Amino acid sequence: MSLPSAALRFTVTADDTALAVGSGSLPVLGTPRLLAWLEAATCTAIAPALPEGSTSVGTRVEVEHLGASAVGQEVEVTASSAYVDGRLHRFTVAARHVAEGVPGAVVGSGEVTRVVVDAERFMQRLSR
């Protein structure tokens, strides 16, 4: 059985910039948006393994944003299962620029940990 993995591609827009998301003053890919994209890849990777009525929640993130990405730049984000212990799933994540359809310079890398939860019970706990 292969370990869960996923790859997603995004094009940086003005709404994705540090200036737009409030994490800086430059019109380049903001770290919060990069993190959201990396988490989206982990969600895509884990989705086929989720039992009915379950979802996963992010519990730990360790990411280095290593390179700037201009508006219009295409970025590929990947998530690969690195460790599973019951409900805990740890993913190795990475982001790279894409030029002419081929991944290039590294934009970021790190780890994202998710925990599988029963969606209804999780939300009920919040209303107490």
pLDDT digits (tens, 9 = 90+) for 71-119: 999 999 999 999 999 999 999 999 999 988 888 999 999 999 999 999 9
Please give the pLDDT value at position 1: 52
Distance separating alpha carbons of residues 93 and 106, to the nearest angstrom? 11
Please give the pLDDT value at position 22: 97
Please give the pLDDT value at position 3: 73
Please give the pLDDT value at position 106: 97
Beta bridge partners of 57: 115
Q: Is 59 helix (H, G, I), strand (E, B) or coil?
A: strand
Average pLDDT, the chain: 95
pLDDT tens profile 12-35? 999 999 999 999 999 999 999 999
Global pTM reads 0.94
Please give the pLDDT value at position 67: 97
Torsion of CA 34, 2, 53, 93, to 10 degrees: -10
Per-residue CA distances from 49 to 17, 52, 77, 87 (Å):
33, 10, 20, 11
Query: What are the chain's domains?
Result: 5-126 (3.10.129.10)
Please give the pLDDT value at position 101: 82
Distance separating alpha carbons of residues 38 and 34, to the nearest angstrom? 6
pLDDT tens profile 45-66? 999 999 999 999 999 999 999 9
